[in-house]
Structure 1
Amino acid sequence: MNQNVGERELVITRIFDAPRELVWKAWTDPERVKRWWGPKDFTSPVSKIDLRVGGSYLNCMRSPEGEDYWSAGVYREIVEPERIVYTDSFSDAEGNLVPASHYGMSGDWPLELLVTVTFEEYEGKTRLTLRHVGIPAGENRDMAKAGWNESFDKLAEYLEKEKSS
């Protein structure tokens, strides 16, 4: 069954109590990304970012059980500090793309997804909107939504610490 883009799209909007420049840095500086990337109880031991159009990234999420989940992609558009558009794929530790089944995921995952993140100033805070296109509907999308929201909870905590330091 073919799904249209709307059915394969996850959209999450969050307000972060931090200036847009700080939220932007949290997304684009690998040392900052490592502090919040991944769901609750996951860590991010590796983040490599070549922040330019055509540049790539490689991130690792480590589960509480010590399993590593790698993702890689290429930046398609960067408008500092307003918008980042990049591809998103499962990968191995070297950044080679692998199918979702490599990590035991089921369903009709495309090899490459597209992520658009916008950063808007909002009453002294930042309204971040994430659009993740290509995630199969059902349990996969529910898991992705939960994972992103848990990551955003960690991002909010990180930004609170950064602001007060």
Structure 2
Amino acid sequence: MSAKVEITHTFNAAREVVFKTFTQAEHLRNWWGPKGWDFTISTFEFEQGGIFHYSQKSPDGDIMWVKFIYDEISVPEKFVYTQFFSDKEGNVVRAPFHDTWPLKMQNTFTLLEHDGKTTVTMIETPVSATEEELQTFVESQDMVQEGFSGTFNHLEDYLLKKPN
């Protein structure tokens, strides 16, 4: 296993529509994150160097804060961000589910359209991780796959509602 996770999902929607659902707060708030969790956006600036800071509240009341910093944006085919778990103020904190999870991850999303359908490929890699953090990430790849697959399924359901 390598220290990266790659997930590909094809959506029955045009690339521009799929890109908007990832890059506009009014769409993200309707589908991002685990099913059944409350999702609240604190800051959303979709621009290079911009910030997406949000919280997710589980059904049992646990709250997790996450922050993205957008590294690269190429409309409508690609965006790259560095993400980390944070506190309410946006400071880097350890993942709430594992003491040796990498502090920062980089996610690269590419969107390719063919015959009116859009294939999204997401690659997640640890940033400046220790050997122990890399090992934790490698051992947790099924969890990452499952989490993003569930999120992509939420997006698929949202796209059926025909967002603009």
Common fold by TM > 0.5: yes
Aligned mates of 1:127, 1:76 — CA distance in 2: 21
Q: How does 1:15-54 map to 2 (within 5 A)?
A: 15-46=10-41, 48-54=43-49
Aligned mates of 1:142, 1:91 — CA distance in 2: 23
Which whole-Å deviations, capped at 9, do the CAs of 1:123-149 have from their partners, x for residues lacking one?
2111000011127112x3222211111
Count of aligned positions: 155
Q: How does 1:1-165 map to 2 (within 5 A)?
A: 7-46=2-41, 48-100=43-95, 103-107=96-100, 109-134=101-126, 136-138=137-139, 140-162=140-162
Which whole-Å deviations, capped at 9, do the CAs of 1:10-58 have from their partners, x for residues lacking one?
1000000111111111101112111111122223122532111111111
- Unpaired runs of 5+ residues, structure 2, are 127-133
The list of structure 1 runs, each at least 4 consecutive aligned residues, that deviate by more than 3 angstroms after superposition, is none
Aligned mates of 1:152, 1:159 — CA distance in 2: 10
Note the aligned Cα RMSD (angstroms): 1.7
Aligned mates of 2:16, 2:82 — CA distance in 1: 23
- Unpaired runs of 5+ residues, structure 1, are 1-5
Q: Is the 8 A contact 1:37 1:43 kept in 2?
A: no
Percent pairwise identity: 36
